[in-house]
């Protein structure tokens, strides 16, 4: 067996330090560059990352560097490589049986006739993956040479890397049954057929010179799959019995995002040569079968941006040494969850910078710990002390603890989380709002034009003053309100031109937060976000959205929604402090938003939407932790929204997660209207809504805004008709899946025109 390196990482940000890959992808999709230019640019991004990783201390020649590269997401890469393309796309492989780059983007983004693969959250993170559609008839063939080509490319550049693939068991756990599959069909049944192609891919990598391959089997740490754990363990046994032999590379089975529990026996007794463990979220496993394996300790948190404790990491590595003689140090997860480098953040305070570690700094920590492993812990005592001092300084820094905030959360009582009975509210809102059956609305944002972005950038650079900036935003709000009136929408929005991001905008107006300049992380495909940093106790600096909402409402007689981001989503899409319980942070945010909600109501806003698209995202992977999380998450939302009168209608919005498992909690939010992603899944969520007994207003989306497709009237009528099979016509709303920020105006106007017409036709049918 080839020796495993002492230091490594699970993965690295792959979008480029300056988001170069994002820009290349979007230029290629628009036809602004051809395939040759795209390939040259993408290759340069990959090679620059390899050189950077070597500069940071990962060895070029011993599989220390993971080859985790993608143009959209790692599950889509494997779907193409396995030839597991849903027949509905009508894609045809070439003479060699391979699919093209454009085929790859078709399953990711759809085309004129077909919606793309469904998209959902990667475990409990804010990263998204495309859900494979697997049925009894799904073909498995060697559909692309992506992994082999990337390995050879790196090898030609002088890097002996470790290719990274999603593991076979996790791939099938993350898949959904195809439309043609029998009811209840589990994709895991196709494991034997799948393994034939996996073996071909791995054999090809071994022939090309790969000594190690990393198979990410994070599905083995989660209880959130509707399948018997014993069946999964059997699948692990079967898979790694077949994926063994001298003709294959050594396998590192990587289990991130939690602790191996149900499947520890299967992994420990398998033929894999190394096991990667998330020791940030889980403890050191004890099993005699692990003694003969390389244990790769993920002691550096790959998901958050705090420097943490090197002393604590050192202790865990020593515990790991008591299980196996061969130990390596790594990150707990891929580093694509964090930005590239703190060194690029010159606007953050010096104190805050000293508390942080982004991807490059975390690699430095891994390398330091690796030196301690091989040279003795005394050799890194200075580095350990520096990190410990920074941690202690952080805990006592001004603003980290605000006694007034702590007193306010400590004084909460049950009435602070309650509103009047829903039927009382519904009656009051019918009188107040006078809406038609099947009311139409959008989720919040409208396309952000170049003019908006330029004005915002000029204001940030102080090239225009506050008055000029606000005038530019008011002009855009006026245009958006007029457009919605012309289109015939019933409940309007102001379009959010003043907001750079639905979380960052609020972070900039709340004490306890900091925002970055270059802290981009990939969300899906070319979509990147800049998570804010929640470092201290939270208070509202003053009204945040009230003036914009009041201005928009002054332009129309139709109701305009006040638009806020909910407490759980602000937490999920920020880097959250790790020194207090999540419940305390959720309540602090709930109270800050409560102040905003009550100010909106006092200003005459009759409909207020508090978005919680991430509430399912944070659901713990261990079932034993569900109840506590859902309790504080629901109560945080209710805290933010329970201070209004019966006639004020509270909306919320949920998207891009599997919601069936938490419909009880969604019901518990108590919102008067809940809009939810449903277009890509063809209204699958309606059965969950029906069976859960959900009795308030609900708007399952009829337009997938994450695809450039424009659904026509007939398609939206079909979706609404499907929704009416499980939702009463008095409760059904008509809306897109999500906000329209990433779409252009041509798509927006055409699709909203179709949406309003679809609602009109279905209303006419109901009236008849």
CA 485 to centroid of chain Cα atoms: 34
The token pair at 482 is 């007029």
Number of H helices, E strands in the chain: 26, 21
User: Do 259 and 300 belong together in one domain?
Assistant: no
Decide: residue 624, CB within 10 A, 0-12 exposed, 13-18 middle, 19+ buried.
exposed
Task: Based on the fold, state whether residues 649 and 668 are members of the same structural domain.
Answer: yes
Q: Which residue is listed with tokens 């979220």? A: 281
Range of the domain at 277: 1-54+273-395
- In order, the DSSP letters of 631-681 are HHHHHHHHHHHTTS-TTSEEEEEE-SS--GGGHHHHHHH--SEEEE--TTT
479 in a structural domain: no
> H helices within 31-167, ranges in order?
35-55, 74-81, 101-109, 146-156
Q: List Cα–Cα distances, 652 to 443, 558, 567, 607, in angstroms.
A: 9, 19, 12, 11
Q: Is 294 inside a domain boundary?
A: yes
Q: Residue 762 domain-assigned?
A: yes
User: 277 with 308, same domain?
Assistant: yes
Q: Are residues 192 and 259 in the same domain?
A: yes
How do 294-300 and 274-278 pair as beta strands?
Answer: parallel
Q: Is residue 419 part of a domain?
A: no
619 and 738 in a single domain? The answer is yes
* CA 259/CA 169 separation, integer angstroms: 17
Q: In this structure, is residue 152 part of a structural domain?
A: yes
The reply to whether 2 and 146 lie within a common domain is no
* E strands present in 360-484: none
Could you please report the per-residue DSSP string of 689-743?
HHHHT--SEEEE-SS-TTSS----HHHHHHHHHHHHTTS-TTTB-B--SS--TTS
SS3 169: helix
d(C-alpha 726, C-alpha 548), whole Å: 37
pTM above the 0.75 mark?
Answer: yes
Assess contact for 673 and 700: CB atoms under 8 A: no
Rounded Cα–Cα distance for residues 218 and 111 (Å): 31
Q: CA-to-CA distance for 262 and 232, rounded, in angstroms?
A: 9
Q: Are residues 264 and 277 in the same domain?
A: no
Cα–Cα distance for residue pair 206/188, rounded to 1 Å: 26
Contact 26, 20 (CB under 8 A): no
C-alpha span between 238 and 416 (Å, rounded): 53
Q: Is residue 457 part of a domain?
A: no
Q: 135 and 46: one domain?
A: no
On whether residue 15 sits in a domain, the answer given is: yes
Is there a single domain that holds both residue 693 and residue 561?
Answer: yes
What is the tens place of the pLDDT at every residue in 188-222?
999 999 999 999 999 999 999 999 999 999 999 99
| Total domains in the fold of the chain | 3
Q: What are the residue ranges in the chain where pLDDT is below 50?
A: none
Residue 564's DSSP bridge partners are 610
455 located within any domain:
no
334 and 306 share a domain?
yes
pLDDT tens-digit readout, 139-173: 999 999 999 999 999 999 999 999 999 999 999 99
pLDDT at residue 17, as a whole number: 95
CATH number of the domain encompassing residue 746: 3.20.20.210
Q: Are residues 211 and 283 in the same domain?
A: no
Burial of 584 (0-12, 13-18, 19+ CB in 10 A): middle
Pair (504, 630) in one structural domain: yes
Distance CA 394, CA 400 (A): 8
Picking from 395, 417, 432, the residue at the C-terminal end of a domain is 395
* Catalytically annotated residue among 160, 263, 337, 706: 706
pLDDT (0 to 100) of residue 340: 97
Structure confidence at residue 657 (pLDDT): 60
Q: Using CB atoms within 10 Å of the CB of residue 395, give its burial: 0 to 12 exposed, 13 to 18 middle, 19+ buried.
A: exposed
Our answer to whether residue 509 is catalytic in this structure is no
Residue whose C-alpha is closest to residue 11's, from 421, 478, 331, 344: 331
Of 238, 268, 298, the one marking the end of a domain is: 268
Contact 717, 416 (CB under 8 A): no
Please tell me the predicted confidence (pLDDT) of residue 48: 98
**Strand, helix or coil at 154?**
helix
Decide which of 226, 251, 268 is a domain's last residue: 268
């Amino acid at each position: 067996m080839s020796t495993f390196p002492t230091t490594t990482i699970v993965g690295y940000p792959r979008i480029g330090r300056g988001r170069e890959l994002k820009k290349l992808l979007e230029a290629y999709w628009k036809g602004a560059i051809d395939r040759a230019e795209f390939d040259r640019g993408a290759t340069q991004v990959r090679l620059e990352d390899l050189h950077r990783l070597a500069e940071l201390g990962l060895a070029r020649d011993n599989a220390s560097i993971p080859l985790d590269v993608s143009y959209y997401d790692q599950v889509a890469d494997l779907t193409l490589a396995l030839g597991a393309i849903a027949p509905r796309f009508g894609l045809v492989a070439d003479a060699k049986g391979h699919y093209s780059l454009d085929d790859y983007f078709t399953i990711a983004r759809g085309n004129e006739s077909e919606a793309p693969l469904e998209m959902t959250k990667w475990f409990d993170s804010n990263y998204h993956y495309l859900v494979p559609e697997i049925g009894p008839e799904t073909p498995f063939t060697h559909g692309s040479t992506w992994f082999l080509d990337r390995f050879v490319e790196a090898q030609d550049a002088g890097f002996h890397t470790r290719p990274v693939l999603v593991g076979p068991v996790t791939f099938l756990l993350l898949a959904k049954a195809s439309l043609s599959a029998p009811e209840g069909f589990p994709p895991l049944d196709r494991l034997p057929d799948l393994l034939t192609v996996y073996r071909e891919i791995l054999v090809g990598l071994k022939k090309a010179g790969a000594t190690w391959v990393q198979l990410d089997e994070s599905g083995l740490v989660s209880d959130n799959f509707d399948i018997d754990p014993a069946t999964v363990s059997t699948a692990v046994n079967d898979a790694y019995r077949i994926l063994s032999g001298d003709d294959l590379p050594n396998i590192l089975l990587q289990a991130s995002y939690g602790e191996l529990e149900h499947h520890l026996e299967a992994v420990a007794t398998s033929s894999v040569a190394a096991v990667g463990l998330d020791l940030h979220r889980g403890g050191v496993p004890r099993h005699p079968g692990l003694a003969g394996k390389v244990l790769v300790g993920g002691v550096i948190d790959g998901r958050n941006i705090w420097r943490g404790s090197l002393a604590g990491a050192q202790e865990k590595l020593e515990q790991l040494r008591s299980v196996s003689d061969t130990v390596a140090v790594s990150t707990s997860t891929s580093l694509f969850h964090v930005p590239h480098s703190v060194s690029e953040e010159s606007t953050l305070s010096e104190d805050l910078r000293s508390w942080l570690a982004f991807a490059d700094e975390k690699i430095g920590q891994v390398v330091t710990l690796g030196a301690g492993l091989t040279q003795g812990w005394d050799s890194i005592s200075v580095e350990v002390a520096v990190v410990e001092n920074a941690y202690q300084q952080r805990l006592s820094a001004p603003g980290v603890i605000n006694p007034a905030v702590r007193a306010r959360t400590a004084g909460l009582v049950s009435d602070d989380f309650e509103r009047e009975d829903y039927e009382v509210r519904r009656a009051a809102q019918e009188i107040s709002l006078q809406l038609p059956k099947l009311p139409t609305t959008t989720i919040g944002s409208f396309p952000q034009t170049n003019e908006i972005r330029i004005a915002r950038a000029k204001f940030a650079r102080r090239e225009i003053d506050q008055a000029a900036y606000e005038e530019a935003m008011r002009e855009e709000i006026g245009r958006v309100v007029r457009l919605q009136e012309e289109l015939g929408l019933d409940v309007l929005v102001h379009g959010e031109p003043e907001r750079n991001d639905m979380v960052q905008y609020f972070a900039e107006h709340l004490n306890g937060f900091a925002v970055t300049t270059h802290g981009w992380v990939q969300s899906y495909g070319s979509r990147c976000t800049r998570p804010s940093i929640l470092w201290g106790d939270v208070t509202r600096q003053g009204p945040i959205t009230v003036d914009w909402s009041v201005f928009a409402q002054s332009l129309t007689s139709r109701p305009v929604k006040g638009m806020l981001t909910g407490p759980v989503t602000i937490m999920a899409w920020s880097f959250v402090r790790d020194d207090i319980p999540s419940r305390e942070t959720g309540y602090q945010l709930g109270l800050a938003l409560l102040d905003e909600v009550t100010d909106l109501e006092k200003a005459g806003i009759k409909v207020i939407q508090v978005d919680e698209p991430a509430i399912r995202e944070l659901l713990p992977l261990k079932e034993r932790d569900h109840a506590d999380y859902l309790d504080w998450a629901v109560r945080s939302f209710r805290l933010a929204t329970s201070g209004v009168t019966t006639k004020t209608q509270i909306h919320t919005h949920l998207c891009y997660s599997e919601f069936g498992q938490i419909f009880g909690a969604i019901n518990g939010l108590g919102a008067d209207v809940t809009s939810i992603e449903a277009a890509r899944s063809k209204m699958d969520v309606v059965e969950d809504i029906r069976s859960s007994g959900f009795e308030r207003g609900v708007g399952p989306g009829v337009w997938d805004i994450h695809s450039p497709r424009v659904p026509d009237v007939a398609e939206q009528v079909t979706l609404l008709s499907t929704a009416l099979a499980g939702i009463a016509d008095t409760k059904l709303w008509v809306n897109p899946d999500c906000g329209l920020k990433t779409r252009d105006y041509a798509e927006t106007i055409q699709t909203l025109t179709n949406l309003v017409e679809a609602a009109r036709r279905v209303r006419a049918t109901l009236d008849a």
